[in-house]
Amino acid sequence: MPFIIAIDGPAASGKGTIARALADHYGFHHLDTGLLYRATGAKGGDPVEAARTLVPDDLRRNDLRSADAGQAASRIAAIPEVRAALVDFQHRFAAQEPGAVLDGRDIGTVICPDAQVKLYVVASNEVRARRRAEELGADPAEMLAQLHERDRRDRERDTAPLRPADDATIIDTSHISVDEAITAAIAIVDRVRG
């Protein structure tokens, strides 16, 4: 049985950076599940049909990291039929040997509730806005407003709202370095793996 690491948290909290580092460290497969929603939104047209016809090549588009793609992803992620269409894709990915690291909003609560390790990565709103602004070359105040709106949508949606799994370990990256966050995550995984 593959070893699954589920990493959830709001946008720009550092979950993707930690997920990639863990996948590299353990030789596991990595899926940024947000890309599924970004790619579905970027395809345009009917979002349910776009989700049903999503293929791995769709995740390689150059425009998936834009603020517009992120906002589109958050909007279509609230559509239950879109979420259902993408669940099978995520389950198949998580079943790969020797293991998989999936990061998103509902990995530990919905997609992989039996994951051996569940992390919930957070950071203050101001830190997240600054990070996203630096990443996109945007205005921090504008990013803060967008993050507030996105967080509200993600937490209030009826299907799979953003929240930590009951058995998730919280990692707050507000005041620690990237290396410190990764070291903390590796220590948590190593404890579970024995």
d(CA 175, CA 171): 11
Q: Is 137 annotated as contributing to ligand binding?
A: no
Q: Is 74 annotated as contributing to ligand binding?
A: no
- 28, 98 contact by CB (below 8 A): yes
Q: Is 159 annotated as contributing to ligand binding?
A: no
Q: Nearest-CA neighbor of 86 among 33, 42, 45, 43?
A: 33
d(CA 99, CA 23): 9
Q: Is 16 annotated as contributing to ligand binding?
A: yes
- Rg of the chain over Cα atoms, rounded to whole angstroms, equals 16
Q: Is 113 annotated as contributing to ligand binding?
A: no
Q: Is 194 annotated as contributing to ligand binding?
A: no
Q: Is 118 annotated as contributing to ligand binding?
A: no
Q: Nearest-CA neighbor of 39 among 12, 64, 62, 66?
A: 64
Residues at the annotated binding site for ATP? 9-17
Annotated binding-site positions:
9-17
